[in-house]
């Protein structure tokens, strides 16, 4: 793995694939570190509606979610979905599905918390 990483220049688009690999391997810290660089590069070099940028931002949201930063994940996915709708591209990144799943999970967590708080009040 280290050899492959050394071959990648910071601006090389294959870094997305490396971040995706680490994400699928459950190494969320490594994936988050790489995909943050990718998104920063793409923000400088690609338009907001570019499919590669949207895909990278979607992976960034997934990494934030896995790392426990749910607010950041939901915010990024909301932006990706808004851009996709604005340009009429449809959900090409899976962001809309991820967003729905994350919001559903957040609501479930809130309900569980409410149950615990209600039991504590009795």
**What CATH number corresponds to the domain at position 63?**
1.25.40.10
What is the DSSP code string of 25-63?
Answer: TT-HHHHHHHHHHHHHHHHHHS-TT-HHHHHHHHHHHHH
pLDDT of residue 109: 75
The total number of structural domains in the chain stands at 1
Q: What is the pTM of this model?
A: 0.76
> Where does the pLDDT of residue 87 fall: very low under 50, low under 70, confident under 90, or very high at 90 and above?
confident
| DSSP code for 88 | T
Q: Which domain holds residue 106?
A: 2-121
Average pLDDT value for the chain: 82
Q: How many helices (H) and strands (E) would you count in the chain?
A: 6, 0
Distance of alpha carbon 30 from alpha carbon 20, whole angstroms: 10
> Where does the pLDDT of residue 39 fall: very low under 50, low under 70, confident under 90, or very high at 90 and above?
very high
């Amino acid at each position: 793995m280290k050899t492959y990483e050394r071959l990648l220049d910071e601006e090389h688009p294959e870094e997305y694939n490396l971040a995706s690999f680490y994400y699928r391997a459950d190494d969320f810290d490594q994936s988050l570190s790489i995909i943050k660089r990718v998104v920063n590069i793409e923000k400088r070099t690609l338009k907001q509606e570019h499919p590669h940028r949207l895909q990278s931002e979607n992976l960034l949201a997934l990494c934030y979610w896995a790392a426990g930063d749910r607010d950041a994940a939901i915010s990024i996915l909301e932006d990706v979905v808004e851009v996709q709708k604005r340009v009429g591209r449809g959900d090409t990144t899976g962001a809309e599905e991820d967003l729905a799943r994350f919001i559903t999970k957040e609501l479930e967590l809130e309900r569980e918390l409410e149950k615990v708080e209600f039991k504590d009040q009795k």
